[in-house]
Chain A
Amino acid sequence: MAELLIEGVAKSFGPVVALAEATLAIGDGEFVALLGPSGCGKTTLLRIVAGLEEANCGQVLIGGRDVSALPPRARGLAMVFQNYAVFPHMTVGENVAFGLAMARAPAARIAKQVARAASLMQIETLLGRYPAQLSGGQRQRVAVARALAVEPAVLLMDEPLSNLDALLRLEMRAELKAVLREAGTTTLYVTHDQTEAMGLADRVAVMHEGRIVQIAAPSDVYRRPASVFVGGFVGNPPMNFLRVAAVSGEVRLGALRLSAPMEEGGLLLGIRPEQLAVVETGGFLFRVAVAEPLGTHLLLTGETGGQRMRAVVPPDATVVAGAELLLAFDPAAIRWMDAASGRAIGAA
């Protein structure tokens, strides 16, 4: 176990900039999720940490040691690959023991750690089988067990759940969280699924176009997104952004008077759909275009002042398409964004 430090790492493939710049510090035993849309450079960053890809510049430090020039085997880490990469010609037991056997660990220690990893991932009964005889979920367990068995300083995971079906994914997510908490391994976990990142991680690093745009606890990323991109990417449905104008330090939205972070000029008002509440008087006008009953809540899509907006209201509300409602929210829930840069105003 050790802390992982990524400092100013960048990578281009010819003319394609895969990773513009990434700096990230992960504490000992911490679980950080690298979250971003497909193609934003998550895998590239993970592979650079693993030593499978060479960075154009920057450093990777594990436990205070610069490992940038070391081959993967000398970095003291383990990795779970997106397609599992379980060795097909070895039994499950041989797979799980592989890392220890390569390190020439004594047989007793191999047996002990394989047994522990296998019991953590509940694959004790599969140890004699070959991967071809396993289901996708079981192979995934083997891949995680193989990584845990070496008791790595740092554990890297690249979308380990993305090849499982939805129900299994939900199950494995909870299980993985429990197992990794028990193992207490420093973990960098790549995913494009925000629910996964939010549910698993101590902190989430959101990536966009080759850069890390926000690093914060899941609830912070959710409540206080650092940019329009983060607000739109994290949370389902995404955050609403309304173009508004400040006049004398004030923004008016229907009957609402909100104190703006600037005297004059255009800016974006960010508000989560769940923060919106239907009111009798005051508030601003919202015209419902579509109402979707989703069981736990009712999702309304419509517009206010010509701008698209979504609202989440309790499931028992009787709202039909074409209805006009008055909505209001707590001003403290607003996230102001700069209209030009798309960055949060006054963000820490």
Chain B
Amino acid sequence: MRRLRGSAFAAGVAMLAAWTLLPIYLVAIGGFGGPDAVYRWPKSFWPENLSLDTFRRFVAIGGIWQATEQSVKVALITVVLSLALGVPAGYALARLRFRGATTYRLVILLTRAFPVGILALPLAVSFARFGLYDTALGVALVHTALALPFAVLVTASLFVGIPRELEEAAWVFGCTGPGAFRRIILPLALPGIAATAVFSFVLSWNEVFAAAVLTLRHRTLTAFLLTVLSESPLHIQLAGGFMLIVPSVLFIFLVRRYLFAMWGIASR
């Protein structure tokens, strides 16, 4: 019985892993294998004739470096804004008792219930009015709105995990409120806050819809590739896809522990 449950669990894990990893793998061999590999039938599952040719052609696409730069810029602004707003909000949720705290927590999650698709058009109109259309800041604002619920909830769970007495000890031994936060809470929460930053970065890096609707000439990498690659041969598309996937997967892998903590899975 135990063995049976164990193998059922293993099978589930294997299926989930295959579900995620197989497409990435196929994208990778498509990208590295060149046009022959992509169009050959039957497909070979094992990589053959790997070369970086496709990638060389990919990075030579005109405008790709500006788009990458724009992506990094938007992602960095997103990180700064989500931390600047998310960390204090998370702290408040974790430490302060105030009326409507539970409702507030729910509302934070509720913001995720509005699809960007619905918001994008009205946003484009008002952004044009505010002069935010086609700017890094404009896209970053939308990305911040997307990243903020996670930033707030992850940092709140970090702060909950830090004993209140540590803070109180700091107050007793001479710290002001902000002083105790800076000297005690922040150093202890730093790894988790860094994880939150990475998560916001990845979210912004990957987001394509808002970025595509809200920009025209200053596109982020995803939005740029969306337009450019739709006219490119398949193996170039795959190479582009691979380039987009890799940083996200790497980053998420690095911070997986904190994401588990966020979803309430004990992982220590």
Contact = CB atoms under 8 A, between A and B. Distances in A.
A175 B170 CA distance: 26
A43 B176 CA distance: 22
A78 B168 contact: no
B184 interface: yes
A98 B173 contact: yes
A78 B184 CA distance: 17
Interface stretch (A82-90, A217-225, A232-240, A279-287): A82-90
Contact of A83 (B163, B175, B179, B188): B163
A50 B169 CA distance: 10
Contact of A85 (B165, B175, B179): B165
Nearest to A102: B174
B172 interface: yes
Interface string A52-78: 100000000000000000011100011
B174 A99 contact: yes
B184 A87 contact: yes
Contacts of B174: 73, 98-99, 102-103
B210 to A, nearest CB: 38
Interface in A316-346: none
B187 interface: yes
A139 interface: no
Contacts of B175: 73, 102
A146 interface: yes
A79 B172 contact: yes
A19 interface: no
B125 interface: no
Interface string A38-60: 00000000000011100000000
A88 B173 contact: no
A229 interface: no
Counting chain B residues whose Cβ lies within 8 A of the other chain, the interface size class is: 10 to 19
Interface string B128-168: 00000000000000000000000000000000000101101
B171 interface: yes
Nearest to A71: B171
Contacts of B179: 102
A229 B149 CA distance: 53
A83 B165 contact: yes
Interface in B169-216: 169-176, 179, 184, 187-188
A50 B170 CA distance: 12
B262 to A, nearest CB: 22
Interface string B14-54: 00000000000000000000000000000000000000000
Interface string A88-121: 1100000000110011000000000000000000
Nearest to B162: A88
Contact of B171 (A72, A87, A103): A72
Given A83-B163, A87-B184, A89-B188, A52 B168 contact: yes
Given A87-B184, A89-B188, A50 B163 contact: no
Contacts of A88: 166, 188
A85 B187 contact: no
A98 B169 CA distance: 10
B211 to A, nearest CB: 38
Interface in B198-250: none
A114 B85 CA distance: 39
Contacts of B187: 89
Interface centre among B169, B174, B175, B187 (most CB of A within 10 A): B169
A146 B173 contact: yes
A147 B106 CA distance: 42
A99 B171 contact: no
A206 B184 CA distance: 35
Contacts of A52: 168, 171-172
Interface string A272-309: 00000000000000000000000000000000000000
B166 A85 contact: yes
A31 B59 CA distance: 76
Contacts of B165: 81-83, 85
A72 B167 CA distance: 11
Contacts of A98: 170, 173-174
Contacts of B171: 51-52, 71-73
Contacts of A146: 173
19 contacts: A50-B172, A51-B172, A52-B168, A73-B174, A73-B175, A77-B172, A81-B169, A85-B163, A85-B166, A85-B168, A87-B166, A87-B169, A87-B184, A88-B166, A89-B188, A98-B173, A99-B174, A103-B174, A146-B173
Given A52-B171, A78-B173, A85-B163, 17 more contacts: A51-B172, A72-B168, A72-B171, A77-B172, A78-B172, A79-B169, A81-B165, A81-B169, A83-B165, A85-B169, A87-B169, A89-B187, A98-B173, A99-B173, A99-B174, A102-B173, A102-B179
Interface of B: 163, 165-166, 168-176, 179, 184, 187-188
The 8 closest A-B pairs by CB, nearest first: A102-B174, A85-B165, A99-B173, A85-B169, A72-B171, A72-B172, A73-B174, A81-B165
